[in-house]
Amino acid sequence: MTYVPAKLRELIIQRAGGCCEYCRVSQESSDISFQVEHIIAVSHGGKTVENNLALSCPRCNLFKGSNIAAADPQTDEPTFLFHPRRQQWQDHFRLSGAIIEPLTSEGRATVFVLHFNDQERIDQRELLLQFGQYPCA
Ligand SMILES: [Zn+2]
């Protein structure tokens, strides 16, 4: 993992309001520290700068890894993953209860690669919903 200076980390965490910028779970509701991740991975030439960094929960970050694109599961066309700095979450996803529904090809590719709707993740978000802790504001 590439070193992100403490000041920059803090800025990314504050900018995200402590929310995973992919699945909208809050750091507050998690026992495990969220990670500042490179949207375009360092191995793909991504830089450690504000507009290439996002706050991610450990699950989203684990599945995303260095991925930046995938086949759209509906069309099989290559498509980039959701880019939290250049795109708005609500333009690409919507919530149906605790299920994250994709609205676009980027949304579909991201839901697939990041395993947004694995049953255990839906169950976790369902529980948070019941306690008024999801989605992260
Ligand atoms: Zn997440």
Q: What is the pLDDT of residues 18-65, one digit of tens each?
A: 999 999 999 999 989 999 999 999 999 999 999 999 999 999 999 999
Residue 137 has a pLDDT of 81
106-120 residue pLDDT tens: 999 999 999 999 999
Ion ligand 1: residues, Cβ under 5 Å: 20, 22-23, 57, 60
Residue 135 has a pLDDT of 96
**% of the chain surpassing 70 pLDDT:** 99
Give 96 Cα–ligand 1 centroid separation in angstroms.
16
Question: Which amino acid would we find at residue 51?
Answer: N
Q: From residue 122, how far is each of 32, 44, 118, 127 by CA, in Å?
A: 18, 31, 6, 9
Contact assessment for residue 63 and residue 52, using Cβ atoms and an 8 Å cutoff: no
> What is the arithmetic mean of pLDDT over 107-134?
97
Q: How far is residue 83's CA from residue 124's CA, in Å, rounded to a whole number? A: 24
Q: How far is residue 8's CA from residue 49's CA, in Å, rounded to a whole number? A: 8
Share the mean pLDDT of the chain: 96
1 has a pLDDT exceeding 70: no
Give 20 Cα–ligand 1 centroid separation in angstroms.
5
Give 111 Cα–ligand 1 centroid separation in angstroms.
11
Give 49 Cα–ligand 1 centroid separation in angstroms.
20
Radius of gyration of the CA atoms of the chain, in A: 14
> What is the arithmetic mean of pLDDT over 73-96?
98
The answer, as to whether pTM is greater than 0.85, is yes
